[in-house]
Each structure stands twice: as C-alpha cells, then as structure tokens.
Amino acid sequence: MLPAIAVSHLNYQYPDAERLALHDVSFTVAPGEWVAIIGHNGSGKSTLAKNLNGLLAPAAGTVVVGGLTLSESTVWDIRAKVGIVFQNPDNQFVGATVADDVAFGLENRGVPREEMLVRVADALDAVGMRDFATREPARLSGGQKQRVAIAGIIAQRPDIIILDEATSMLDPAGRTEIVQLIQRLRATTQLTVLSITHDIDEAASADRVILLNDGEIRTVGTPAEIFAFGPELLKLGLDVPYPEKLKAALAARGVAMPAHYLDAEGLGDYLWTLHSTM
C-alpha cells in the first residue's frame, strides 16, 4: 500500500540560520496510522510539519504525500490532502462565526454553496459543535476553538491531519477533549494523524513515536519503547509520564510489569490485581 507520507533525506535551513533546522530526516507514515513527533523546543518538530505541506520549502530531499511529490505545481493539491491544526487557537480562526470559519477552506477551493452547507454541518456534528454554529470565537473556550479548527479541516476531507502542538495552549480538560476527539475521528474515518507535541501523554496515544533531537531523528518506536528510555528522555528535554516512571521503578525492584503503555488508572488496576488470588 502507498504510504500516506514518505519523507526521505529532508534538509531544511532557515534563512540567516547557521545550522540546519532539519538534517537528513527520513520516515514513512502508513495510511490510518497515528504518529507522534516529539522533541524539545527548537528540535525542529514544527519546521517538519511546515515542510510537509509546502508552507516551508525543503532545501534538499523529497516529501511525497499520497503519491504526490511536493513541488510548486502540486503544493495546492497537497494542502488539500493535509490539514494542519496550529498551536494558538485564536490566531487560526479566520471566520467571524464558527460556521464561517469551518467554511473558509471550502470557500477557498470553490466548493458550491449547497455542498458547503452539508459539509459544514457534518463537520460540526463530527466535533460536537453543531449548537455553536452561529457563535463568535470570542465566546468559545480554547478547546472549543481547536475543535472548530479540526472541523474546518475535516470539512475539506483531507487524508492527513497534522496537530502542530494543537493542545499546548489548552488547559488539561481541553487537552483531553482534543485527544479523545481525535481518537473518536480515527475510529470512524481512515484519517492519518501526525501529532507534533511535547505533551508526552498525547504521544502515548499514538501508534508510533518519532523522537526528534536537534533536527535529526533520534529514534522511532512504539510509545512504550520510547518511554523505556527513561532518564535519557529527560536529558533530551522531555519528561516521562508518571505511570511510566513508577513502572520503571517497580520493574527495577523485581515486580513484573507489562510492556505496553498504561495510564494512571490502568496501572492502578494492574497493581491492585497483581497479587489477587481470586
């Protein structure tokens, strides 16, 4: 099967910068997969996202999205396939109302109005914001604004959605809201998700994690494999989720621990049944 995204030997350098922001980055993402890209601030995560849909032009290497090689002539087709949710909920809200904002991408592509009405309503249903269609952005919470941004993207029916630190400016409730929404969307559609984050809990929901350090890929693995690095992640400016730290500490003391990732509740369940004889 054709990969959703195939990046090979990608280099990128910001104008006037001395160092490469991305150096020899290669990876592929399968259709329907959820891949998290983690790394400390300035590790090149967001630069990578912007290279994937031509917001920045790669200095070397190729980016292939759904069989199309990124170039000046394909950039608008690729942008139709790749939607990005950015970090700041306010600064990506173009429309004066929720429905207008969802329609913005459709207007840009010249979708006829009758079809727009249907697609906007469907997209708002999918993110649970139908009742807010005529609201103004000033009256929404950060989490709701990000849901609208996601609706604006799924209305365009892309193959890939990139979350570029989309939860980093939200409160914990808003963060959970967005992660759950993405999980729900993936259950019902064939959406490929690329989440760029330094929120390790968000990364834990992914199928695969790419660890980026100073513009280079450090490791690729399942969340559990990545978290097993433990203290080394701390050195790279990342934190391991609390249940993973506890797991590592218990394993060091000879307690049998499962290899897959457990959240706090899951670990609690595992622990209290560990010596149960019932």
Partner 1 sequence: MNKLLLGRYLPGDSWLHRLDPRTKLMASFYYIAIIFLANNWQSYLMMFAATMVMIAASKLNLGFFLRGVRPMIWLILFTVALQIFFTKGGPVYWSWGWLAVTQFGLTNGAFIFLRFVLIIFVSTLLTLTTPPLALADAVESLLRPLRKIGVPVTELALVLQIALRFVPTLMDQTTKIMNAQRARGVDFGTGNLFQQMKAVVPLLIPLFVDSFGIAEDLATAMDARGYQGGDNRTKYRILQYHPRDGYAGLAMVVLTVALVFLRA
- Under the rule (CB under 8 A), what is the footprint of partner 1? 50, 53, 55, 76, 79-80, 83-84, 86, 88, 90-97, 99-100, 103-113, 116-117, 120, 136-138, 152-153, 156
State yes or no: is 107 an active-site residue.
no
Only one residue has tokens 């280079």, namely 216
Rounded to a whole number of angstroms, the minimum distance from the CB of residue 204 to partner 1 is 27
Q: Pick from 107, 51, 61, 124: which is nearest to 84 by CA? A: 51
Measured distance CA(174)–CA(108) in Å, rounded: 29
Minimum CB distance to partner 1 smaller for 127 or for 262: 127
Helix, strand, coil % in the chain, rounded to nearest 5: 40, 20, 40
DSSP annotation of 254 reads T
Minimum CB distance to partner 1 smaller for 92 or for 197: 92
Rounded to a whole number of angstroms, the minimum distance from the CB of residue 205 to partner 1 is 23
Rounded to a whole number of angstroms, the minimum distance from the CB of residue 8 to partner 1 is 23
Rounded to a whole number of angstroms, the minimum distance from the CB of residue 116 to partner 1 is 5
| 107: Cβ contacts below 8 Å, ≥ 6 apart | 116
Minimum CB distance to partner 1 smaller for 152 or for 243: 152
Catalytic residue among 18, 33, 72, 165: 165
Compute how many other C-beta atoms are within 10 angstroms of the C-beta atom of residue 30.
14
Minimum CB distance to partner 1 smaller for 39 or for 137: 137
Q: How would you class 258 by CB atoms within 10 Å of its CB: exposed for 0-12, middle for 13-18, buried for 19 or more? A: exposed
| 173: Cβ contacts below 8 Å, ≥ 6 apart | 143
Residues annotated as catalytic (active site), given as ranges:
165
